[in-house]
Structure formats: structure tokens, C-alpha cells
Structure 1
Amino acid sequence: MRPEFVDAVLGLAAMVPAGKVLTYGDVAELLDAGGPRHVGRVMSHYGSEVAWWRIVRADGTLPGGLVERALPHYEEERTPLSDLGRSSRRVAMRRARWLPSDSDLARIEVLSRKLSEPAAGMDE
């Protein structure tokens, strides 16, 4: 996996405000690179560097075993959740999905542009 892609995914994940979320697919679409599985792979390997609980599956869930670890963060940040019982809770996507502002989109564009640049030390 290219370090530039990892940096871009983590950079975008770090922008998501408390109480809001993006899906793996949202991240890929905003960066115009990779796909949900690529983003998920980055998050599974490097997500501890950012607020990993803010990047979720399209249905508002996290991979198995992470829900219990995420719940205290969701409660502290007042992230909107569905009421399916504590162990099967999911993010209420309509209320929690982050919609980046124009200035956020400009910052995301910078991250995205770095993905199309040649890697350092490589000839064009």
C-alpha cells in the first residue's frame, strides 16, 4: 500500500469532527482514490493514529469486536446512535454523517492531489 494513500486516508480521518462519521466509501470517494476495502485496510493497520471510530461501514457499524471499544467514544462525543441494544449499536448515519464545508473540501483536495504526484525519488 502506498504511503501517500495511507497518509491521505489518515489525514482525512483526522479531519472528521467529534460526533460525526464518514464511511469507508465516503473516504475513498472524497479522496478520489482506492475503494472502501482499501480504506478499511488502512484503518485496520494504522487507524490507531486517529479517531478510528469515526470511520465506519456504510450501515453505521464497525468491524467485529470494535463496537464495545467505540461506544465510550461515541457517548463522550454524543455521536447519534440507533437503539438496537448496547452490543449491536450502530451510528445513526443520517444524523451523524459529516458533510465537509468548502474549506474542508479544499483541504481534502490537497490530500487528494498528493496521491497523483510521483513518489519521492521516482522519475516521472
Structure 2
Amino acid sequence: MFERVRDVVASIPTGKVLSYGDVAKRAGVSSPRLVGRIMSEDTADLPWHRVLRANGTVAEHLRERQLEALRAEGVLANGPKIDMRAHRWTT
């Protein structure tokens, strides 16, 4: 399960994002919260910044760092949110 989540996160292209629920669905994991837990323990070497809450917001404690990393890839926030319709990876 850990490796499936890691594989999905690793495959998110530059300039695209997924929600925790999207990652869960693609990885065959039962819960977006479980994805969050896995990511909190084991994704430092992955593009973790491309995974957001379903409403396009980021974790408050990572906000500046995550938004900066997304901005560097051309994913711009509208205030504290990313437009999931515009930036969600759909393939």
C-alpha cells in the first residue's frame, strides 16, 4: 500500500496536482486520510507538494513552502487555494 501511494505521487506530472482522494482512488487505498498519513511519514523524496485537499487548499503548516513549490511549476493559487479544475491531473 505504501509503495502504491508513493508510485502515484511520483507519477504526478510537473504543473499538475491531485487531491488526497484522487491518490487514494488511483492507489487502491480505502481512505484519503490514509494517504495523508502515509505521506506524512514517507514522501520527502517525492513531489508531495502536488497533493492537495479536495477543495484545493494546502496544509496550513506547509502552506508557504507548498505554494512556493507549486508556483515554481506554474501552478498559481487564487488566495489560499489552487483551482483544481484547471490543474488536476486527469489521465
| Same fold at TM > 0.5 | yes
Tell me the residue number matched to 1:37.
Answer: 33
Which of 65, 68, 71 lines up with 1:72 in the alignment?
Answer: 68
- 5+ residue gaps, structure 1, are 101-124
- 4+ runs deviating over 3 angstroms: none
Q: Check conservation: 1:18, 1:79, Cα contact below 8 A.
A: no
**Where does residue 109 of structure 1 map in the other structure?**
none
- Take 1:80 and 1:92, find their aligned partners in 2: how far apart are those partners? 8
The 2-side partners of 1:74 and 1:93 are apart by 13
The CA distance in 1 between the partners of 2:3 and 2:61, in whole Å, is 25
Q: Where does residue 91 of structure 1 map in the other structure?
A: 82
Aligned-partner Cα distance in 2 for 1:20–1:44:
20
Task: Please give the per-residue CA displacement for 1:66-95, whole angstroms capped at 9, x wherever unaligned.
Answer: 11011221111001421x2xxxx2211010
Structure number with greater Rg is: 1
Are the aligned partners of 1:81 and 1:91 in contact in 2 as well (CA < 8 Å)? Answer: yes
| Aligned position for 1:22 | 18
Aligned positions of 1:38-57 closer than 5 A: 38-57=34-53
Change (3 A) 1:25 1:54: same
Q: Percent identity?
A: 37
Q: Which moved more, 1:63-72 or 1:36-45?
A: 63-72
Identify, as 1 or 2, the structure richer in strand: 2
Distance 2:39 2:57 in 1: 14
Which residue of 1, 7, 16 corresponds with 2:3?
7
DSSP 3-state at the match of 1:43: helix
Aligned residues: 91
Residues 80 and 95 of structure 1 are in contact (CA less than 8 Å); yes or no, is this contact kept in structure 2? Answer: no
TM-score (norm 1): 0.69
